[in-house]
Structure 1
């Protein structure tokens, strides 16, 4: 069921400052050990819909809209949309929802956030799908350029055009082939919703700028880490997974054959299995 929660978050930069109220939108379903799901930049929590029902058979699944994306409002004034602040927000969210060190899984930006939560020992396992932060500078510039182009395209298209394109497999490919290897499998309604989510994302630009100098360079010892990469990822190329394995030597590195950057829709059964195995 969709819900919102408001909670206090201390500043990661000034411990003496007054905590600020943050509100996030989320959906929660299932039973079992808690599993927190974090989506990528410009997307929304519905990115996880293809795997939610499978995960919910074994997990208490909490899919969250990141601050300034989907139905979640932006962070309050004085809170930048950067990695330390986002990590503080999700640590406080776990306390607000009484999640005692949940499992966490993330895609792209959400994968980077999941790894940060793991590095700080806030979670019991981390599973990442094409996580951000393992790029070279040329690869980062390429990815950011593609994301900016996607954002411009989404904002320039009238809603009736998006709806018309979504009705055919070819049209859905035009709208989403950068992130899906099999865009024709995405439902028309989902394609319309995520195109509008990208166009209307309140903090897309600020969040993207905050990632310019981000590189994930620390090991994540003491908890299980899984890094999965689609073989047809056109945004963050799969050799970045090899870098992730070098940095986190004990991580499981898994190939997702035939999957793109957002693999949940390309092969829901495979991705759900990876997420459940990673949280066991």
Structure 2
């Protein structure tokens, strides 16, 4: 089973991180969602954090990830949860929604909406560069990430406010990214675009200062998913939970409320 944590009680919300990240990236918003009366489930992707290795056994990334999460929900005994994802996690959430396995979806700067080869090569090159740099920084990371400059060097590509990241979290994130290199490589080899449509309430929320999946990709998302609610998360970077937990939690809860209202009206 995928490594995970369960918090609180109530209607379940599953939080899925992005490529190279880990479930602890959601920690800033978990208490906010629990306080609103939800069970919150954070999960590590295959080959990330404490989860088993990425092992697609010849299957496409799309099929493999679908099967992994379908089995995960079954093992947890949850049906049609609300699912929230960031980056690759956003694409996974959208795929689950398209397959009718969720009650609502929030995709935060989701993967799967690049416009062409250049967009994809840019993202892949960025990750290669930062993973290489991370390997060089790893021996001094515990000292480097105690400083604002060190956090800016390590995380300004992901966060608009890297100084807000606690030093121990920054070190843990770097070590996780380096350990996840085999999975990252396989996921980029199996990258795919999202096509839609969505049969459930959905929010596509692009980070205003995203340096990974550049905000103009949101325009393609609007064309592919005209039925979704589209918004810009102001003042945040690619991983918005780091920058503004309250904004992210509010975006999630608004979508959940919209879905529950729609369900009650039906």
Contact 1:260 1:266 in 2 (8 A): yes
Seen in structure 2, the aligned counterparts of structure 1 residues 224 and 77 have a Cα distance that, compared at 3 Å, is: closer
Hey, what does 2:106 align to over in structure 1? 127
State the Cα deviation string for residues 16-75 of structure 1 (Å, max 9, x = none). Answer: xxxxxxx31001101110011100000000110111110112211000000000111114
Report the number of matched residues: 254
State the TM-score, normalizing by the size of structure 1: 0.88
Task: Write the mapping of 1:205-244 to structure 2, written as runs, cut at 5 A.
Answer: 205-211=185-191, 214-220=192-198, 222-244=199-221
What is the TM-score of this pair, normalised by structure 2? 0.92
Number of the residue aligned with 2:20: 42
Question: Structure 1 or 2: larger helix share?
Answer: 2
Q: Hey, what does 2:183 align to over in structure 1? A: 203
Select the structure that is richer in strand. Answer: 1
Partner SS, residue 32 of structure 2: helix
1:107-122 map, 5 Å: 107-122=86-101
Contact residue 81 and residue 203 of structure 1 kept, 8 A: no
CA distance in 2 between counterparts of 1:56 and 1:79 reads 38
Q: What's the counterpart of residue 154 of structure 1?
A: 134
* Moved segments of 4+, more than 6 Å: none
Q: Secondary structure at the match of 2:240?
A: coil
Q: Cα gap change, 1:237/1:76 in structure 2, threshold over 3 Å: closer, same or farther?
A: closer
| Aligned residues of 1:81 and 1:207 also touching (Cα < 8 A) | no
Deviations 1:167-225 (A, max 9, x none): 011110100110101101111111000000001114121112111xx1112211x2101
Aligned position for 1:248: 225
Distance 2:56 2:15 in 1: 26
Matched ranges for 1:176-195 at <5 A: 176-195=155-174
Structure 1 residue 271 corresponds to structure 2 residue 248: yes
Gaps of 5+ in 2: 258-266
Which residue of structure 1 lines up, in the alignment, with residue 115 of structure 2? 136
Distance, in Å, in 2 between the alignment partners of 1:178 and 1:219 is 31
Distance 1:81 1:190, change over 3 A: farther
1:5 matched to which residue of 2? Answer: none
CA separation in 1, counterparts of 2:232 and 2:55? Answer: 39
The reply to whether residue 59 of structure 1 matches residue 38 of structure 2 is: yes
* Separation in structure 2 between the aligned mates of residue 141 and residue 112 of structure 1, nearest angstrom: 18
Partner of 1:98: 77
Asked whether the equivalents of residues 56 and 64 of structure 2 are also in contact (C-alpha less than 8 Å), the reply is no
